[in-house]
Structure 1
Amino acid sequence: MTDSPARVLTDDELDVLELALGGAVPRLPFVTGPVTLTDTENTPLAEVGADGSPTPVKPIAAALGPQWDERLRVPARDVAAAVAPGTTAVWTDEVPTVEDAATIARVAERGGVLLLVPASRRTAPGTVGAAGLTRAVVALAEEIPGRPRVVVVPYPHRSTTAVAPVDVTPADVATAYGAERLLVPGEERSPETRAALADLPRAHARAVAALYPAASAREVERAAAAGHGRGTVVFFTGLSGSGKSTVARALAAELDDDGLGTTLLDGDAVRHHLSKGLGFDRESRETNVERIGYVASLVAKHGGIAVAAPIAPFAASRATVRGLAEAAGARFLLVHISTPLEVCEARDRKGLYAKARAGEIPDFTGISSPYETPDDADLTIDTSEVSVEDAVNQVRAAL
């Protein structure tokens, strides 16, 4: 680790960094070195030299879901080394239709096929996320002659409201992964299939209109558009390194994959935005937690799901957050990630405990500042004994 300035990466930039570290992108055009790249938890991930090329420092944190399966999420250089000459890469950025499957099967009959699944850390509302897309493509591969290989590709989110930090095209990625040709099934669809897909949002309305009188149909449509009902706040608390952010991210990703719009309020990410400028004394920490609780209560008030994961060391501020959620009419679930201090310190991905022990960080929870163990937790999980997947399942069961 050098003394170079640090830059916290966005989700899109994390995708590009992963591409670069895997050999798919030669350099990072959105930074000039020397600089240390970190995630929102301030974990150093890579050092960037003056030429823009990154050198890994620590592994990029993975999450749950098939898109994170290490058998599928393989670096470009490793895939390219194993791809047969003449292979066609199929860019499956949408759930394949019946027509798409037939197109891919015809290509597979003529030669090698590599199914690339572009998986972003962000999902546009109303679309199938990375987990669902990966499941669909893996299932499709089982039906294609020769069972082509499926590879998950970290890829920046693209939409009309968000611009990727680097112009990485599907053709660039296909070449980096060893393919000689690129097929985008969506571009090969017939006019009939395109029209049918475009008409899907109106199909429900027509079905409702056919089943109900006009006044009843309006009420059914109104109820369908009213949201998800009672909102929920899932509030994680625990020491730095306990695993609360990892579990929170995995939970939010699963809820998103189920079509439940979820807002993740991670402690470190909030510090960069909502609570920028606050210190780490007791008053500042309580203010930070209460700000998170206020935003979470607003999300839940309108039927959404808010997942928050600050350290939240003090009982008084946690009680305030619970009160805000309940006043908004939301369900509130306090999850204590009770991983022992010695385990948290051994993990120490950010190197913070070592600095705290050396006296370089004052008011560090668990070392020089107290952590008030919750006596009102709705769920207690020790991630030194429970896997992330099991932890998420416990939270979902509690909900």
Structure 2
Amino acid sequence: MTDLPARVLTDDELDLLELALGGAVAPSVLAATWPDAPADVRGPRGGPQRSKDSVGWGVVLTDAENTPLARLTVRPGDVPDAVDALKPMPPAIGPQWDAAVRRPAREVRAELEAGAGAGSPQALSLLVTEVPTREETDAAVRLAAGSDAVLLFVPAARRTPEPGTVGAPGLVRAVTGLAGTLAERTGARVSTVVVPWSGLGGVTLEEVAAAYGATRADTLAAHRSPATAAAVSGLAHVRDNAVAALYPPASAAEVARAASSGHRQGIVVFFTGLSGSGKSTVARALAAELEDDGLQTTVLDGDAVRHHLSKGLGFDRESRETNVERIGYVAALVAKHGGIAVAAPIAPFAAGRAKVRALAEEAGARFVLVHISTPLAVCEARDRKGFYARARAGEIAEFTGISSPYEEPEDADLVIDTSVVSIDAAVSAVRTHIIAAG
């Protein structure tokens, strides 16, 4: 594995990798999206258009934290390509990550085939890309007539949704309600299926549904009438229309101006803890919850920042302090304009954390320090990247917790040990603290 080149995947590419690992798309679809892949790999829509004498091609796929997730092997000639898991795909928090609904294609397909007995399964896939209206609920009942099974497909991208839109958590909750209604009104076996989907790779959602075992697919939003579509699109302007009806133009302009000028205080939520403590997992899950609440949230994860904002910095004490200060500066800028910045570096030194607090407070933002206090032994046992083992072997100098100190904060607003507190509970504790203090 170490002899192969590595590729850091974007969130969209991680969605595609998850589909490939589950058997929903061909492995070569991944490589076909990369302009620097060998030319004979980049056939239209990922087709294996390569010569018989091609020597093959391989790459290790990692996430933004450089964790090796899978090995992609594009093989020569007519030999099938392969993608092999190296580490589990890191989950986040929210209903779209529930293992009961986020299942691999091959598992869903096998379940449908087993449920059909001797006959062929008649499985309808309803692609639910928008929150269903009453009109679409009635359409779903009509479409489900005569089907043995109904799969409610919910596309859920890892990337942050557009402001003002219902994100994946809300869409899954709405579809869960639709599933109950459909089961009650049709008697069909109804399942909610979350599909990691960003539209990358040139494969359609209908083709992915077929890989999950659906014999026919229909997009539910296509059954929305023009009148309903107009009403939904007009929801954002309901207040403006009401103000215009209540006030004369000059007064309406002042009421609208006052409403738009409201400024909420920004927040910097700063996680600190050892590598492997769970701070990044909690931070990303918290950000997803806040985004689903309609709050503008920016995640500044330590490893991801080093690829961009702090590229070229080393890991000596001065470089680490510079990295933390840069994160704090950007977080303060986000919070200064009313946003929420969630940062998750190791930040081992008290002086560096104090600088970040000062930057946030100077920007008029609230600062919340969260110490993820998971013990060193647990962090080492979780080590997905082998850093602790390399540090103990002397291969990594100045590694926090081994050859470089971690100064535990004495001013933390919250202290959470993820070896005894679940990620869900940790996110809830931080979210409750933010809301209660606000």
Give the letter aligned to residue 71 of structure 2: E
Counterpart in 2 of 1:273? 308
Counterpart in 1 of 2:321? 286
Quote the Cα distance in structure 2 between the aligned partners of 1:216 and 1:59: 58
Q: Using the TM superposition, give the Cα deviation of residue 121 of structure 1 relative to its aligned residue in structure 2, in angstroms.
A: 0.9
Give the letter aligned to residue 152 of structure 1: V
Query: Where in structure 2 are the equivalents of 1:207-246 lying within 5 Å?
Result: 207-226=242-261, 229-246=264-281
Instruction: Name which of 59, 84, 87 aligns with 1:58.
Output: 87
Counterpart in 2 of 1:115? 152
Query: Where in structure 2 are the equivalents of 1:338-377 lying within 5 Å?
Result: 338-377=373-412
Q: Using the TM superposition, give the Cα deviation of residue 10 of structure 1 relative to its aligned residue in structure 2, in angstroms.
A: 0.6
Give aligned-pair identity as a percent. Answer: 66
Q: Using the TM superposition, give the Cα deviation of residue 113 of structure 1 relative to its aligned residue in structure 2, in angstroms.
A: 1.8
Counterpart in 2 of 1:334? 369
Counterpart in 2 of 1:315? 350
> Does residue 1:151 correspond to 2:154, yes or no?
no
SS at 2:71 equivalent: strand
Quote the Cα distance in structure 1 between the aligned partners of 2:413 and 2:422: 19
Does the CA-based 8 Å contact 1:228-1:304 persist in structure 2? no
Instruction: Name which of 40, 43, 46 aligns with 2:70.
Output: 46
Quote the Cα distance in structure 1 between the aligned partners of 2:254 and 2:59: 56
Counterpart in 2 of 1:124? 162
Quote the Cα distance in structure 2 between the aligned partners of 1:226 and 1:46: 48
Does the CA-based 8 Å contact 1:227-1:303 persist in structure 2? no
The C-alpha deviation readout for 1:96-137, integer Å capped at 9, x for no partner, is: 111111111001122132110001112122211000000000
Q: Can you give the 5+ residue segments of structure 2 that lack an aligned partner in the other structure? A: 38-56, 76-80
Quote the Cα distance in structure 2 between the aligned partners of 1:358 and 1:140: 55
Give the letter aligned to residue 69 of structure 1: D
Quote the Cα distance in structure 1 between the aligned partners of 2:255 and 2:230: 26
Give the letter aligned to residue 116 of structure 1: F
Counterpart in 2 of 1:23? 23
> Does residue 1:73 correspond to 2:115, yes or no?
no
Instruction: Name which of 178, 183, 207 aligns with 1:140.
Output: 178
Quote the Cα distance in structure 1 between the aligned partners of 2:140 and 2:400: 55
The C-alpha deviation readout for 1:291-319, integer Å capped at 9, x for no partner, is: 10000000000000000000001111111
The C-alpha deviation readout for 1:340-381, integer Å capped at 9, x for no partner, is: 111101110111101111111111111111111111111111
Give the letter aligned to residue 155 of structure 1: W
The C-alpha deviation readout for 1:31-54, integer Å capped at 9, x for no partner, is: 554211111121110011133531
Does the CA-based 8 Å contact 1:107-1:113 persist in structure 2? no
Larger Rg: 2
Q: TM-score by structure 2 length? A: 0.87
Give the letter aligned to residue 34 of structure 1: G
**Which segment is superposed worse, 83-92 or 332-341?**
83-92
Give the letter aligned to residue 108 of structure 2: V
Q: Using the TM superposition, give the Cα deviation of residue 200 of structure 1 relative to its aligned residue in structure 2, in angstroms.
A: 2.1
Q: Using the TM superposition, give the Cα deviation of residue 329 of structure 1 relative to its aligned residue in structure 2, in angstroms.
A: 0.2
- State the superposition RMSD in angstroms: 1.5
SS at 2:194 equivalent: strand
**Which segment is superposed worse, 350-359 or 195-204?**
195-204
SS at 2:367 equivalent: strand
CA 1:59 to 1:378, structure 2 compared with 1: closer, same or farther past 3 Å? same
Counterpart in 1 of 2:122? 86
Quote the Cα distance in structure 2 between the aligned partners of 1:366 and 1:335: 18
Counterpart in 2 of 1:161? none
Matched residues, number = 392
Q: Using the TM superposition, give the Cα deviation of residue 227 of structure 1 relative to its aligned residue in structure 2, in angstroms.
A: 5.9
Does the CA-based 8 Å contact 1:236-1:337 persist in structure 2? yes
Quote the Cα distance in structure 1 between the aligned partners of 2:223 and 2:380: 54
Quote the Cα distance in structure 2 between the aligned partners of 1:361 and 1:338: 23
Q: Using the TM superposition, give the Cα deviation of residue 215 of structure 1 relative to its aligned residue in structure 2, in angstroms.
A: 4.2
Q: Using the TM superposition, give the Cα deviation of residue 260 of structure 1 relative to its aligned residue in structure 2, in angstroms.
A: 0.4
**Which segment is superposed worse, 225-234 or 146-155?**
225-234
